Each structure stands twice: as C-alpha cells, then as structure tokens.
Amino acid sequence: MLRLVAALCVVSFGAIAEGRGKPLFHFNDCAAVSEDTDRWQASVTLTKPLELIYATGGEVSFIRDDGQFIEITGTKQAPTGLVCIGVSGRYSEERPSAQIHVKPLPRTEVVNTREIRSIRVRRATEIWHVASFPVTSDKTAILKPLEPYHNLWGQDSLSSTTRHSSVGAITVHYAKGSYSTSSGGNKGLGWFITPTQLGSNNDDLILSYDIWFENFGWGKMGKIPGLFGGVSGDGAYGCGGGNHPVGCYSLRLMWRAGGDGELYAYIPTNQAAGFANRPDVIVNWDYGHSIGRGKIKFQNGVWQTVTEQVHLNTIGHTDGWVKICNQVHGQDQQCYTASNLRMRNEANYHNRGIFFTTFFGGNDPEDAAPNDCHTYFKELHLQIPDGAVVG
C-alpha cells in the first residue's frame, strides 16, 4: 500500500465552508519513475478552476497552487518506481479534468518545507481543431477537414454519420474476422495527418479526440490514433507494422481484452537501463512496446475523450514522457504517465502530427475482430502547452 502521509490544506476554512454546496472533485494518478528517485516534483494541471481542499503524496514537503495549476515536491514513496498523487477540491460549474507530470529532482536540490505561493495559470494553446465531418458518401469530402494527410489506406471501412451525435462523425467498420493483414475489406483504416499549424520543431504536443466504441467484443487487441514524429517528410511515416526505421517514432494507443488501454510505442532501442524490467512495460522489440497496460479503460457504447501528451526527450537523455488519459463523459478521468523514455536520438526529430490508424491486431487470425463492430470519431484537437518548444 502506498504511503499517503501528508495532507496540506491550501484554502482557508472559510473558503471550504462556503464551497460545501459545490460538487466534489477527486483525482488520483500514478507516474512511473526510476527506482532510485529520492525526490520528485509533480505538477497537476486542471482544465477548470478548483477550490483545493487537500493534496496527498509521499511525504509532501512543498506545494503551490493557483486554482488550475498545482506543484508538489515530495520524497520517495513505497513501492519504489511510482509516484502517486491525490487531489481533492470543489468546483463551481464545469467539472475539471486533470493531468499529472512527475519529474525526478537532483538529490542536492533544496526545497522549502510547506511553502505556499501563487503562480500563473499554465495553459495550452490550441493550434488545430476539427469538430465534425461532412455526412456524405464522398470519402474525399469526409477527409477534407484533415488535409494534408498521407499514406491513406482502408477507405472501404470509412463513412460518416450522425448516429450517436448531433454532428457528423467519422465511422470505421471492422468486419467480423478482420485484422490488420487479413484478406478482404472492412478491416480498419489509417493515414498520417500533418497540420501545417504544427510547425517544424515541436517537442511538446497534446492530442485529444472523442471516440465511441459500438458493439465491441474487444478481442485480443487493436489500435487507435496517437501522435508520431521523426524527421521531416516521408521518413517519419515508417514506424508501424513491425518496421523500425531510424527516422521515426510512433506513440499510438491500443485497446486490449476487456477494453484495457495502453500506450503502444515504437521507440529507439537505447532506452534507460532497466527499461525491460519496469513493471509498467511489456517489451516487444519486433513490434511496439506495451506500456501502462490496463492503466486506463475504454468503454463500449458511450462517448469518451482520449488525450495524449508527448514531451520529447532531450538529445542524449531518457527524460521524455507520454501522458495518456481516457474520460468517459460524465465520469472521472483516468490517466497514466510513462516517464523516463527516449523517443529520439537526433535533434532534427520532432512531433509531426497524428498517426490516425485503427484496426484489430496484431497480424494473426487469433487477433481478429470477434464480431462486426464500429468506432466513431469527432472533436479532434491539437494543443501546444505554454512554454513548449515550437517552430
């Protein structure tokens, strides 16, 4: 059991009393860190203001809060290899969602005990947004809002509809028995989206989209969209299907049996020592690594918002991280952060856009769709966090 030994009140008792009639918000999340981490700093970013009641972690010694951004510094938790943070508070109108990022601190870094101060709100700037899609049989027209895109396949699985939404959503059909390399049609689709607004030197990017799983038996596994990057141009489109060219990386999400979610990562082989032994990693050097399997959960028959934030590593270091979240509408957000990653070895490798691909598999018949089913996509967003490197 994790030691959650500190609870710091950062609003006055009067403020808490005034807020008693407001809805409660509770957020708990863990991030993987190296087992020798003695000190850490966690940042919790909220999408809407929160009257913070308390924050918990392992021997919390420093906290600062302005309602939408909280920083906590603490010491080693048990078990080692994880930092877990809890935040509780009350909100006035729209329910917030939260993201956590943890970075190890040097052992010599000094922090002030129980210091509370105000800091500016950290926000993200939206650079690209596609809310809906034309409802038409013209597949070129359906995809037009996503231009420029590249390496399109699987158009037979593509359509659009208002079946579960007041606006048009992309619809993807997976035929019973289909998987990535099966014969026949309706086995999913894929392409790369490279918005011009992204620029050429982005190292920190947030993707989000709404997805509905319909009649899903889940099977063994399947892919849904995530971010990708590498060199500029065609060389960035190669990481997938068991291919590992040096000029790219891909960071898609996957569903597993029962709707378990994970980060599915094509990343370089020179990861940090102990990468293959991490409890949150199932290595696969032939295909992609399964990272954080089951840390988030997808649901059948409801709209949910998937979010992925990618922070690229400094060249020569394994300080990159990827945050994945899923929030079923009307429920709490589930999040997981994969830390201490290396996505690139060259300074000209950057985030290039969205690897929009979805299918069952794997590439074996046992990976096939157990029944006819569909997914629906709308509300695609790309955001750049304030302070990120952009070009």
Over residues 168-185, the pLDDT tens digits come to 999 999 999 999 999 999
Is 110 found in the same domain as 258?
no
CA Rg, the chain, in Å?
21
Mean pLDDT of the chain, nearest integer: 85
Is 191 found in the same domain as 283?
yes
Q: Show which of 67, 89, 122 is a domain's final residue.
A: 122
Supply 216's token pair: 């899903």
pLDDT of residue 1: 25
Residue 391 lies in a domain: no
Residues β-bridged to residue 289:
265
Give the rounded percent of residues in the chain with a pLDDT score beyond 90. Answer: 64
Q: Is the pLDDT of residue 22 over 90?
A: no
Residue 1 lies in a domain: no
Helix (H) or strand (E) holding 17: helix 13-18
Say which range, 139-148, 332-341, 379-388, has the weakest mean pLDDT.
379-388
Q: Show which of 99, 122, 145 is a domain's final residue.
A: 122
Is 275 found in the same domain as 233?
yes
Which of 60, 1, 48, 56 lies closest to 28, judged by CA? 56
Q: Show which of 122, 142, 177 is a domain's final residue.
A: 122
Residue 68 lies in a domain: yes
Is 289 found in the same domain as 182?
yes
- Model confidence at 123, pLDDT cuts 50, 70, 90, reads low
Burial class (CB in 10 A: 0-12, 13-18, 19+), 305: middle
| Residue 183 CB contacts under 8 Å (≥ 6 apart), including other chains | none
Burial class (CB in 10 A: 0-12, 13-18, 19+), 258: exposed
Q: Is the pLDDT of residue 59 over 60?
A: no
Enclosing domain of residue 33: 6-122
Residue 358 lies in a domain: yes
Tell how far CA 334 is from the center of its chain. 10
Supply 375's token pair: 């997914």
Q: How many residues does the chain have?
A: 391
**Three-state secondary-structure class, residue 105:** strand
Is 265 found in the same domain as 135?
yes
pLDDT of residue 4: 30
Is 90 found in the same domain as 166?
no
Which of 59, 106, 58 lies closest to 82, judged by CA? 58
Tell how far CA 235 is from the center of its chain. 24
pLDDT one-digit tens code per residue, 198-209: 999 999 999 999
pLDDT of residue 39: 75
Alpha-carbon gap, residue 216 to 238, rounded angstroms: 29
Q: Is the pLDDT of residue 188 over 90?
A: yes
Is 289 found in the same domain as 356?
yes
Helix (H) or strand (E) holding 16: helix 13-18
Task: Tell me 247's DSSP state.
Answer: T
- Tally the domains of the chain: 2
Is 364 found in the same domain as 295?
yes
pLDDT one-digit tens code per residue, 33-50: 777 777 777 878 888 887
Is 84 found in the same domain as 51?
yes
Contact 134, 97 (CB under 8 A): no
Is 326 found in the same domain as 205?
yes
CATH number at residue 102: 2.60.40
Contact 234, 391 (CB under 8 A): no
